[in-house]
Structure 1
Amino acid sequence: MTDHATDISRRLEDRIRAEIRARGSVLPFDRFMELALYAPGLGYYVAGAPKFGPGGDFVTAPELSPLFGRCLAVQCAEVLERLDGGEILEFGAGSGALAVQILLELEALERLPKRYRILEPSPDLQERQRAAIQTAAPHLLARCDWLTTLPECFAGVVIANEVLDAMPVHRFRIGTDGEILEIGVTEADGRLVEVAVPPISPGLIETVSTLQAAGLADAPGYESEINLRLAPWLAALSSTLERGLALLIDYGYPRAEYYQPERHMGTLRCHHRHQAHSDPYVQLGLQDITAHVDFTAVAEASVAAGFEPAGFTTQAHFLIGCGIDRLMQAVAPEAALDQALGAKQLLLPTAMGERFKVLGLAKGVDGPWSGFAMRDLSDRL
Structure 2
Amino acid sequence: MFNSLIKKGRGAQQNINNRFFELSQEVRDDFLEYCEKEGEVADNDKTQYLEVYPKTIVNKVNSPDVGMSYSMNMYQGCEHGCIYCYARNSHEYWGYSAGLDFERRILVKKNAPQLLEDFLKKKSWKAHPIVMSGNTDCYQPAEKQFEITRKCLELFLKYKHPVSIITKNALVLRDLDLLKALQKDQLISVNISITSLSEQTRRILEPRTATIKKRLETVKILSENNIPVNVMLAPIIPSINSHEILPLAKAVSEAGALSIAHTIVRLNGAIGQVFTDWIQKKMPDRAEKVLNQIKDCHNGNLNDSRFATRMKGEGNIAKQVSDLMQLAKLKYFKDKVMPTLNTNLHESCKDGQLKLF
Pairwise same-fold verdict (TM > 0.5): no
Select the structure that is richer in strand. Answer: 1
